[in-house]
Every structure is written in structure tokens, then in C-alpha cells.
């Protein structure tokens, strides 16, 4: 079988396993292998470079690795106008007028180079919920922080454990 139907339960696993398999082929180039192995999240690749030259080399290497696997790595985003021009010349990125980009569930403002957690829907939902164990768990689960920026401040599991242990009539 060479095709995996979209939406099948195992599709994300098969995608991840396929990507990992192709990344392993590049263990000889340890820097590219390490970057790709630790920076791929489902179908997003999230990484940066210390300099324009380094970022350009990493992006070129990443495109080549995925091309060799028969995959088209595209839609790069950067906060560097100089780097953006290079990508546009090579038809690698799509230009949009919006300064905010969604990356790994976070909102990235490329002009100010800041990341923002999406909290609007969470703040709209909270006032309408009854204080039940189910609703608390539902609210805690909506806090999506894949990079771990707020993990030192999020004590949701301890909070839920404390509430359940106190037995507030749930």
C-alpha cells in the first residue's frame, strides 16, 4: 500500500514513522539529523538558526532531506526580511499580509518576534461553565503549550488533584 487515507486513526502515526525513517538516513550529517529529529511535530517543522547563514543552511538541508523522501517541505516563515527575500526568490514561502502566523498552536507575530498563547476562546468559555470536575478538566485541557513556555506557571494537574482530593461535592 502506498497511500494512507486521510483521517484514519493510524494516519498520524504512519506519517511520523515515515518521517523518522527518512530522517534516520541522514545520521551521517548529525546536525541536520538532530535538528529534524527533535523539531518535527506532526506536519510542522519548528526550528531556528543563530545566524542568517546557519538558518539558510538548515532550511536548505531540511528541504533536501524531505525532497529525497518524496515530500515537499514548504511554507517557511521567518522574522528576517533578508531571509524572506531569499525564500521568495526561490519560491519557497508564501507571502501574506497578515503579520501573525499560527505555529504549533501558538500565534507568532513575525514583526515583533513574539509568541502568544490562544486564550480568547478559553476566556469566553469559562464564565459559562458550572464548577464540575468534568468542566475543570475540559478547561485545563484547552491550555495548549507545546513548546513549554508556560509550563512553570501551569499547575493544572496539581490544581485538579487538589480539587478532587478536597471533594468539593463532585
Q: 114, 85, 87, 111: which is closest to 98 by C-alpha?
A: 111
Q: Is residue 69 assigned to a domain?
A: yes
Please count the other Cβ atoms lying within 10 Å of the Cβ belonging to residue 147: 14
pLDDT at 166: 78
Pairwise CA distance, residues 139 & 86, whole Å:
42
Listed residues 66, 98, 130: the one ending a domain:
98
Assessment of whether the complete model's pTM goes beyond 0.75: no
pLDDT at 41: 77
Listed residues 43, 63, 98: the one ending a domain:
98
Say whether both 159 and 79 belong to one domain. Answer: no
pLDDT at 9: 84
Say whether both 67 and 27 belong to one domain. Answer: yes
Going by pLDDT thresholds of 50, 70 and 90, the confidence category of residue 170 is: low
Q: Is residue 77 assigned to a domain?
A: yes
Vertex 70, ends 64 and 72: CA angle to 5°? 65
Pairwise CA distance, residues 16 & 89, whole Å:
30
Does 74 have pLDDT greater than 60? yes
pLDDT at 65: 86
Q: In this predicted model, what pLDDT tens digit does every residue of 124-165 receive, in sequence order?
A: 877 887 888 788 777 777 777 777 777 766 667 677 778 777
Q: Is residue 58 assigned to a domain?
A: yes
Pairwise CA distance, residues 64 & 113, whole Å:
27
Average pLDDT for residues 31-55, to the nearest whole number? 82
pLDDT at 96: 61
Q: In this predicted model, what pLDDT tens digit does every residue of 3-29 receive, in sequence order?
A: 767 778 888 888 888 888 888 888 877
Listed residues 70, 98, 126: the one ending a domain:
98
Going by pLDDT thresholds of 50, 70 and 90, the confidence category of residue 75 is: confident
Average pLDDT for residues 28-56, to the nearest whole number? 82
Residue matched to cell numbers 478536597? 166
Say whether both 88 and 159 belong to one domain. Answer: no
| Domain around 143 | 118-168
* 103 CA to centre of own chain: 5
Q: Is residue 3 assigned to a domain?
A: no
Q: In this predicted model, what pLDDT tens digit does every residue of 92-125 receive, in sequence order?
A: 666 566 788 887 778 888 888 888 887 777 778 7
Burial 22-59 (b: 16+ CB within 10 A, else e): bbeebeeeeebbebbeeebeeeebeeebeeeeebbebb
pLDDT at 97: 64
Q: 147, 160, 70, 87: which is closest to 116 by C-alpha?
A: 147
Amino acid at each position: 500500500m502506498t497511500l494512507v487515507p486521510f483521517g484514519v486513526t493510524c494516519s498520524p502515526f504512519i506519517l511520523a514513522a515515515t518521517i523518522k525513517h527518512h530522517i534516520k538516513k541522514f545520521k551521517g550529517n548529525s546536525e541536520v539529523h538532530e535538528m529534524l529529529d527533535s523539531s518535527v511535530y506532526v506536519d510542522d517543522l519548528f526550528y531556528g538558526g543563530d545566524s542568517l547563514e546557519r538558518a539558510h543552511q538548515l532550511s536548505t538541508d531540511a528541504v533536501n532531506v524531505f525532497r529525497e523522501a518524496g515530500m515537499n517541505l514548504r511554507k517557511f516563515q521567518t522574522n528576517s526580511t533578508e531571509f524572506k527575500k531569499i525564500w521568495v526568490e526561490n519560491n519557497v514561502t508564501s507571502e501574506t499580509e497578515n503579520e501573525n502566523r499560527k505555529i504549533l498552536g501558538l500565534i507568532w507575530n513575525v514583526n515583533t518576534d513574539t509568541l502568544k498563547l490562544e486564550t480568547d476562546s478559553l476566556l469566553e468559555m469559562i464564565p459559562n461553565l458550572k464548577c464540575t470536575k468534568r468542566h475543570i478538566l475540559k478547561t485545563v485541557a484547552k491550555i495548549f503549550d507545546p513548546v513549554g513556555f508556560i509550563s512553570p506557571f501551569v499547575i493544572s494537574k496539581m490544581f485538579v488533584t487538589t480539587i478532587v482530593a478536597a471533594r468539593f461535592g463532585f
